[in-house]
Amino acid sequence: MRLFHVSEENDIELFKPRIPLRNDLGHKRPLVWAVNEKCLVNFFTPRDCPRLTYHIGPRTSEEDKRFFFSDTDHVLVIEHGWFERMKNTKLYIYEFQTDNFILQDEIAGYYVSEQVEIPIACYQIDDLFSALMEKHVEIRMLPNLWTLRDRIVASTLNYSLCRMIHAKERHEKV
């Protein structure tokens, strides 16, 4: 298993545990977050880019496979308004030793550590669209994410909803 952290910053020498900002994660203990290799592509976007990502899991129905997928088993969806930012963002992928990490969310591929973590490698991605295509991820762009979000949540897919606070409002005309 390999674990990573994605950032727009290119000079992080160590990762100090921080209290999570999201209310659903609790605010009790500081953590360093990492993601496994399968779900790493969920973060091949600018940090604040709202996105839906989904992939086939062990409980995904045949009907959902036919409805949500074409020639791939992993999809990343962004709003049209983020296209230019995606084109112009560079990302840095920091890799960690896995010894101190424990599984936090299997479907999202999240792992956490309560220790200061020093990256063992750093990789630069200059072209996010090319990087996603190289990993056989289907990229979709929509005017608004909410309708698809509702369908995904009601499906049998494995999914992740990231930075939805920055998504267009449900009622915005597109």
pLDDT score for 174: 47
Within the chain, residue ranges assigned H as helices are 62-68, 83-88, 128-134, 146-153
- Is the pLDDT at 105 greater than 80, yes or no? yes
- H or E segment to which residue 93 belongs: strand 91-96
pLDDT band (50, 70, 90) for residue 46: very high
Structure tokens at 162: 């990231």
CB under 8 Å to 106, separation ≥6 — which residues?
A: none
d(CA 158, CA 174): 27
pLDDT score for 171: 59
Tell me the whole-structure pTM to 2 decimals: 0.90
Q: pLDDT digit string (tens) for 125-152?
A: 999 999 999 999 999 999 999 999 999 9
Q: Average pLDDT of 88-104?
A: 97
| Coil, helix or strand at residue 18 | strand
